[in-house]
Amino acid sequence: MRRRAANLFAGTWACAYAAFALAQEPLAVCVAERNPPYAARTKGVASGFDVALAAAIAARLQRPLKLMWYEIEIEKESSPTLEVNALLSAGLCELAAGYVLYEPALGAPAVPTARTPDHDGAKPKRQRPWIKLGPLIASEPYQASALTVVLRPGLEGASVGSLADLQALRTGAVAGSLAGSILMLYRDGALQNKLVSLGWRDDPLAELEAGKFDAALIELNRLDAYRMRNAGTRLVATGYHLPLRFNLGYAAPESKRELIESVNAILRDLQAQGRLSAIARDAGLTHVPARAPFVQPEITLHSLREAAGG
């Protein structure tokens, strides 16, 4: 009996110690640097919606928060989803914030290995090892990324209720982007002679404000970030959002399913309390509620034509 009691005590103590140790282990979350209003780091001070939300989740889990900052590449040949998978598969973080819930970017990876992107403590790219990638799972969404139409100063009286209203306007379009593709495909090219082609490194909102064209179809969070940098901007927000939108959530390795379930419960609670929209507002982000389907199926030419309205 004494031996049984001792074994029971030892087992209970071991479980309690394991739970205590996990509670003390930092929650490592990967966040993209220079990505306001989602995440930014200025002189060592972190800010943004993803930063504040990760802090709220870590507090609920009773774990300190550790942010792993990584760089977003804007080159066409880069693959952010594979690079984020490499960060997670290498164990540099348990969760990746702001992950696009897109069917091809979840589950088994398209290639077996990838290198991590530039991140805190990273070696030069050529010296980084190739990381064996694993399947990814995702949390429920906490925000949606929407495309909106913005007008240049001087068009305050114009009304935009659909893409059809752009037929009378010169519209900037980044070649090869989702927005650019939708504009090109709209009603079998009805807008093509009104499009002004832009490169990947161009700033559509700055050029719009300079009057180089009349309108832009742009991600709403990019408009939020532009407003943060340019308090006196006279750009005209139309309030029109394209029906097609992508939900954002957390990505994690398949082995972190229990953590994802805990995160889902916290996200539901924050949503019910109105905290998600409050955190977004404080970060300067327009909160766009997620819309079903939570995970966007693979985009095809047919679905793009549907999104473009023709």
Reading phi first (left if > 0) and then psi (alpha if -120 to 50, else beta), residue 23 is in: alpha
Q: What is the DSSP letter of 77?
A: T
pLDDT, average across residues 170-191 = 93
pLDDT in tens, 261-271: 999 999 999 99
Q: In the chain, count of helices (H) and strands (E)?
A: 9, 13
CA 147 to chain centre: 13
Amino acid at 157: G
Least Cα distance to 65 among 57, 74, 75, 73 occurs for 57
pLDDT, average across residues 184-213 = 94
Give the span between the Cα atoms of 292 and 178, in whole angstroms.
Answer: 20
pLDDT in tens, 16-28: 444 444 557 999 9
Beta-carbon neighbour count of residue 146 at 10 Å?
19
Buried b (16+ CB within 10 A) or exposed e, 89-124: bbebbbbbbbbbbbeebbeebeeeebbbbbbeebee
Reading phi first (left if > 0) and then psi (alpha if -120 to 50, else beta), residue 103 is in: alpha
Pairwise pLDDT comparison (256 vs 78), residue with the higher score:
256
pLDDT in tens, 268-285: 999 999 999 999 999 999
φ, ψ (nearest 5 deg) of residue 285: -105, 135
pLDDT in tens, 50-72: 999 999 999 999 999 999 999 98
User: What pairs with residue 219 in β-bridges?
Assistant: 147
> How deeply is 215 buried, as exposed, middle or buried, from its count of CB atoms within 10 A (0-12, 13-18, 19+)?
buried
> How deeply is 229 buried, as exposed, middle or buried, from its count of CB atoms within 10 A (0-12, 13-18, 19+)?
exposed
For the chain, give percent helix, strand, coil, nearest 5: 40, 25, 35
Tell me, what's the pLDDT at 76?
Answer: 54
Please check the confidence at residue 305 and state whether its pLDDT lies above 90: no
